[in-house]
Structure 1
Amino acid sequence: MKQVFDLEERMENFSAMVLSFCDSIQKTYAGSTIANQLTRSGLSVALNYA
């Protein structure tokens, strides 16, 4: 049986997981820089879909 996935819902879940992961990254200079870039990139997927 083929499963049907709602792409918009999956992208929202992905964005939430990215934010959660970025909050767990160490708050060093390198960690903050990487978390900042990852947050912007991870959230842009859902924002560009709309």
Structure 2
Amino acid sequence: MGTNKTGASGDKAGGHEKRVSDLYSVVNRSTTGVRLEILSMKKEAGELS
């Protein structure tokens, strides 16, 4: 029973880690997009002025 328990918790931890890494990759992707948008906006503002 003890080994079963550790196996289950281990799986849970692994799944949680994967979810966290997925979340980080999504956040990184969106922040990169935002950064690019800000850069293009700054470029446009510079060209306008």
The structure where helix makes up a greater share of residues is: 2
TM-score above 0.5: no
TM-score, normalised by the number of residues in structure 1: 0.41
The structure having more radius of gyration, on CA atoms, is 2
